[in-house]
Structure 1
Amino acid sequence: MKLMFISDVHGSAYYMEKSLNKFEKEKCDYLISLGDLLYHGPRNDLPIDYAPKNVAAMLNKYKDKIISVRGNCDSEVDQMMLEFPILSDYTHLFIDGHRFFLTHGHHYHKDALPPLSKNDVLVYGHYHVPLAQKEGDIFILNPSSVSLPKAGTNSFGIYEDHIFTIKTFEDEIVASIDLRGEDES
């Protein structure tokens, strides 16, 4: 199973298209959205090619391949535009013996952990900063923002065969971590 993780698109049709092109190129099985898909939010500048209606139309073509959680900028109005659910504050995935706790990051994050067990994986966005680390006996991951990064460059995450890699759209590796606890970099 190969998964692509994106967060904080904030209505950028430009970066949504780049993300979906990477999804296809990487031959991912599912696209995981960590929230803030359509609206840019009052604290953010408008991203490149701000076009929430276009972003919704692009995403709806992949509705059977998307797992999403609600970001702090996502609302019931956004849900009316999308043909897949986005209003859950968190969800769990069980893959390769790992439990992934997926959330946006405005409630649960590295400094406010949800209830997790040994070797669980917390994945969130919201902060627009890439992160891949093992903290105690859990893994904490943030692929950053595809459209409005606050540190580094626009990036996304790929999970395959126990490895979570944060990459740029130019295929540069920002960070990578083995969720079996081996070969962290």
Structure 2
Amino acid sequence: MKYFVMSDLHGSAYYTKKLLDIYKAGEYEKLLLLGDLLYHGPRNDLPKDYAPKEVIAMLNPLKDEILAVRGNCDAEVDQMVLDFPIMADYALLDLGSRSIFLSHGHVYNHESFPLRKNGDVFLQGHTHLPVAEKKERDGKFYFHLNPGSASLPKEGNPNSYGVLTEKGFAIYTLDGEVLKEVEF
């Protein structure tokens, strides 16, 4: 299994196109979208080529390949124009022997998601910061992952995306350089 992970597009047609070109060139089982797809939000600057209608036109044809969760900038009006569900606060995915808990990060975070067993994974967006680390909570270990932001990275980080497999998680720049990675 191999999943392409994007978060925090914030309506950028430029970065959505770049990332979807990378996605289409690879062999991925699904495209995981971790929220904040169309709207830039009141706290963010406009991303490069802010064009939510273009982002809609790029994502909708991939509706059967997408698993998405709702971000804090996603609203019911966004769901009305997207052909795949985006309003869930979380999703669960089995990755071999691991459970993957996907959430944007504004409702559930790496310290509050339901940790069931050693080696589970919390995959989030929201902070716009790339994270790939092993952590401990309540006597169990888990993996905290965040692909960073596709369009509005913070703290000097590059625009990025993630690739999730049974063996681990890697965060890549748009030039294909590995930014961070963790093995499971």
The DSSP-based 3-state class of the residue aligned with 2:92 is: strand
C-alpha distance in 1 between matches for 2:100 and 2:143? 9
Q: Deviations over 1:88-147 (max 9, x none)?
A: 00010001211000000112223x321102211000000000000000201100000000
Name 1:182's counterpart in structure 2: none
Name 2:93's counterpart in structure 1: 93
Name 2:179's counterpart in structure 1: 174
C-alpha distance in 2 between matches for 1:96 and 1:164? 14
Over the matched positions of the two proteins, sequence identity in percent amounts to 51
The CA deviation at 1:58 is: 0.4
Maintained 8 Å contact 2:11/2:39:
yes
Maintained 8 Å contact 2:125/2:148:
yes
C-alpha distance in 1 between matches for 2:89 and 2:168? 25
C-alpha distance in 1 between matches for 2:112 and 2:178? 26
Structure 1 window deviating more from structure 2 (57-66 vs 101-110): it is 101-110
The CA deviation at 1:2 is: 1.1
Q: Which runs of 4+ in 1 moved over 2 A?
A: none
The CA deviation at 1:161 is: 3.5
The DSSP-based 3-state class of the residue aligned with 1:20 is: helix
- For these two proteins, the number of residue pairs brought into alignment is 178
C-alpha distance in 2 between matches for 1:146 and 1:98? 26
The CA deviation at 1:160 is: 2.3
Q: Does 1:47 align with 2:57?
A: no
The CA deviation at 1:163 is: 1.8
C-alpha distance in 2 between matches for 1:147 and 1:77? 21
**Equivalent residue letter for 2:54:** N
Name 1:142's counterpart in structure 2: 146
Maintained 8 Å contact 1:96/1:162:
no
Name 1:3's counterpart in structure 2: 3
C-alpha distance in 2 between matches for 1:53 and 1:97? 39
C-alpha distance in 1 between matches for 2:103 and 2:130? 15
CA RMSD of aligned residues (A): 0.9
Maintained 8 Å contact 2:95/2:166:
no
- Scaled by the length of structure 1, what TM-score is found? 0.94
Q: 1:158 is matched with which residue: 157, 163, 167?
A: 163
Comparing both structures, which one devotes a greater share of its residues to strand? 2
C-alpha distance in 2 between matches for 1:43 and 1:17? 24
Maintained 8 Å contact 1:158/1:166:
yes
